[in-house]
Amino acid sequence: MADRYLGFTGTAPGRFLTRRLGLPQPAALIRRTGGRPRFDGGLLHLTAGTSDLDLAPVLARTGLTPGAGHDPTAVVLDATGVRDVDTLAEVHAALHPVLRSVAVSGRVVVLGAAPDPADHHQAAVQQALEGFTRSLGKEIGRGRTVNLVRLADVTAAESTLRFLLSPASAYVSGQVIEVGDEEVTAPDDWEQPLTGRTALVTGAARGIGAAVAETLAGQGARVVVLDVPGAEAEARALADRLDGTALALDVTAADAGERIAAALPDGLDVLIHNAGVTRDRRLVNMPAERWSSVLDVNLASVLRTTDALLSSGALKRGGRIVATASIAGLAGNSGQTNYGASKAGIVGLVRSLAPRALAEHRVTVNAVAPGFIETRMTAAVPLLIREAGRRMNSLGQGGLPVDVAETTAWLAHPASGAVNGQVVRVCGQSLLGA
């Protein structure tokens, strides 16, 4: 369903009226398209404190022009050298004069270092950067995003910087992303990084799952479209369009993992856990079946199939697991104790499995946590609740399935091997929760 308010605020009368009434004025977001895979404007590189990061080669490969123009499309602030309150003041001094000039739907990326447990002054000010970036994201407006990347190695962070400094990250703001120092290998083609890789997407016949399948296929992956037998016709139609394969399978089956492995004798490189259901009702009115059905699809099936595919070796070394959480699992939601529990469980899975899967299988484990995304399900939500969902985030609008898909594709990227154990909210920096 079209966001008519967003369209109205894009007109001259709409801007005048909403400004006079003090109403939200969301800006139409610039998203990645075939004709515009990257931004082509100017990039301003600033530094707070003393840093020895050699950012120039990586930033030059983003498509942006370092130092060009008076209205930069993006600003990158290297604050990895901030170690005390005095140098923290340099963050303010660097950004204060330039923020008004950042282009509509532009990007601000702050680079930080991991807090040092042996230096409580450094730990304090590096943690302060988190509060700073989250707060700046809530006030910067005009469709612009602000994110913090904690990194140890610039090369390992290239896929993350390319993502955050591109139109692909339009609905990702206020996030803190930690990038480790794992050695990564750049793809031969950054526009087709998944060429030669096989990706399986569960719940892929429609909605967000279909958008994920389309995005991965667009980046070169051979996609396996998995959905329940009742959606087989839709799954096959999508698979045919993407030159992929359809797999009709109930992921809650006890042997689902073994059946997936059998269907993919050459193995799997990317596993996307997207299948999910809702059975909303307040706990006092919720029968056991509504509880168990949601937990079985959204969490138990993810645990079982992940274990089976890892232990059998069907998920190859260097592989990627991306699961779908939700802001309902992070902040809670009335009437969704079952759904919130299942999605918080995904967060627990990621945090526990990620270090072991990387050490034992060279597989990364991450999650995306969507907020209000414009789908057929949200189109059926009553008008006032739908409008509240759209406006209660820093970007003042709902996201699109492609926003979740683009974030998933970044986490599935072969050069994202140093991004592990992360739960990234795709919510326009929702005002619910942290």
Catalytic residues: 339
Give the count of beta carbons closer than 10 Å to the beta carbon of residue 341.
17
Alpha carbon of residue 21 to chain centroid: 33
Q: Which residue has the tokens 């004709």?
A: 35
Nearest to 143 by CA among 26, 37, 4: 26
How far apart are alpha carbons 98 and 283 in whole angstroms?
A: 49
How far apart are alpha carbons 208 and 263 in whole angstroms?
A: 23
Q: Which residue has the tokens 């450094």?
A: 122
DSSP helix/strand/coil, 396: coil
Structural tokens at position 226: 């998995």
Structural tokens at position 310: 């890892």
Output the CA torsion 65→164→218→355 (10° steps): 140
- Amino acid present at 32: R
Q: Which residue has the tokens 């290297």?
A: 78
How far apart are alpha carbons 405 and 408 in whole angstroms?
A: 5
DSSP helix/strand/coil, 219: coil
Strand order in the sheet with 107-112: 65-66, 42-49, 74-81, 107-112, 145-151, 176-179
Instruction: Provide the 8-state DSSP code for 184.
Output: -
Q: Which residue has the tokens 């990387």?
A: 358
The answer to whether 412 touches 320, Cβ cutoff 8 Å, is yes
